[in-house]
Amino acid sequence: MTDYRDHLLSSESTIKEALVKLDHLAKDAILFIVYADNTLLGSLTDGDVRRALIKGTSISENVEGVIQSNPRFIRKGESNIQKIIEYREGNYRIIPVLDKFNRVVNVINFRFLKSYLPIDAVVMAGGRGERLKPLTNDTPKPLLKVGEKPIIEHNIDRLRSFGIDDFWLSVRYLGEQLEDYFKDGSHKHICTEYVWETEPLGTIGAVSKVKNFKHDYILVTNSDILTNLNYEEFFLNFLESGADLSVVTIPYDVPIPYAVMETEDNKVISFKEKPTYTYYSNGGIYLMKKEVLKLIPKDKFYNATDLMEALIEKNFLVHSYPLRGYWLDIGKHDDFAKAQKDINKVNF
């Protein structure tokens, strides 16, 4: 993936300098002309330059004279996902992302990204991985490799493919290794910060330590999950449901090999021949409005199930999102072995 800064060109540049950069970008040839502080001035394509040259403009002239002054853009933190979808489906492949001061802070390219979701992601990666010993004696479970890369990297790359670029990693056991592996995230074109647990805080307690979320929607996920969840569909379903929190749930079908009687005061009122009942278990992936985080106590052990119970008790809407795709919780040696087989045949 191209570094977004490759698409930026100073407003003081010449048309010739622009042509050199456009040639370097090849099929992604579009530039965003910026002032010294990266404030967006306009955009420039090969077509813009070609039309200017036909009119007699010299390549030694300043680039400002040939730019498009009102390019499409996305505002950082903007929650209008439909705008993103419209750009993507309208074949606007490369779009600048602006902060509130109109400075370019990113450039998204739909040749590499599936979406650009207005979400902060918290990845819970502090557990000891007791059931995977001795593999976790010297390596934190999230850094155990599945195929060519660590479990947690599969999760982060999947989230990144949907345009999520603000990450918090909650770490404790051997957390220094995770810090050393991901650093500030810039090599993946994301921003990575770390939340240190001095003592275990449960499956969501560490989220209370984060003070600087960038968006109004927060996704919290376990780091030891392997899934091909479509995060855009999950987000759209969350918005449509009007939920305060949505949890990915894993359907389990339980076939009953006999006819099941339905009774009332020992009177048989109906029966079903060998029915199958579907139950839903917690998938360890949660999407919520930022305001519900106020219910998480500070620096106390607190699980995501505690938060859901508190929300239900206070008449907030907790929504289930049944996943029909692939999902695996890598908790035991058998799960780890299965992940090694599945990674080559499941489309992640």
pLDDT of residue 196: 95
Q: How far apart are CA 18 and CA 8, in angstroms?
A: 10
> How high is the pLDDT of residue 11?
93
Q: Which residue has the tokens 């995977």?
A: 132
3-state class (DSSP) for residue 167: strand
Q: Helix 81-89 crosses helix 231-241 at what angle (to 10 degrees)? A: 140
The string over 199-225, giving b where at least 16 C-beta atoms fall within 10 Å of a residue's C-beta and e elsewhere, is eebbbbbbbbbeeebebebbbbbbbbb
User: Do 214 and 166 touch, CB atoms closer than 8 A?
Assistant: yes
pTM to 2 decimals? 0.89
DSSP secondary structure string, 3-61? Answer: -GGGGEEETT-BHHHHHHHHHHHGGG-EEEEE-TT-BEEEEEEHHHHHHHHHTT--TTS
Instruction: Read off the pLDDT of residues 162-198 as tens digits, 9 standing for 90 and up.
Output: 999 999 999 999 999 999 999 999 999 999 999 999 8
Residue 1's pLDDT is what?
67
The domain 119-242+283-309+322-342 is placed in CATH, from the list 3.40.50.10470, 3.40.50.720, 3.40.630.10, 3.90.550.10, at 3.90.550.10
pLDDT of residue 318: 97
Quote the CA–CA distance of 167 and 267 in Å, as a whole number: 57
Buried b (16+ CB within 10 A) or exposed e, 80-100: ebeebeebbeeeebbbbbbee
Per-residue confidence (pLDDT) for residue 288, from 0 to 100: 98
**How many other C-beta atoms can be found within 10 angstroms of the C-beta atom of residue 183?**
11
Asked if residue 134 has a cis previous peptide bond (ω within 30° of 0), the answer is yes
Name the burial class of residue 159, with classes exposed (0-12), middle (13-18) and buried (19+) by CB atoms within 10 angstroms of its CB. buried
User: What is the pLDDT, as a whole number, of residue 347?
Assistant: 78
pLDDT digits (tens, 9 = 90+) for 3-16: 889 999 999 999 99
Determine which helix (DSSP H) or strand (DSSP E) holds 271, and give its type and residue range.
strand 267-272
Residue 220's pLDDT is: 98
Please give the class, per CATH, of domain 4-109: alpha beta
Q: Where are the domains of the chain?
A: 4-109, 119-242+283-309+322-342
Q: Tell me whether strands 119-125 and 225-227 are parallel, antiparallel or unpaired.
A: unpaired
pLDDT in tens, the chain (348 residues): 678 899 999 999 999 999 999 999 988 999 999 999 999 999 999 999 999 999 999 999 999 999 999 899 999 888 889 999 999 999 899 999 999 999 999 999 999 999 999 999 999 999 888 999 999 999 999 999 999 999 999 999 999 999 999 999 999 999 999 999 999 999 999 999 999 998 999 999 999 999 899 999 999 999 999 999 999 999 999 999 999 999 999 998 888 888 888 888 888 888 888 888 888 899 999 999 999 999 999 989 999 999 999 999 999 999 999 998 999 999 999 999 999 999 988 877
Site of tokens 């009119």: 55
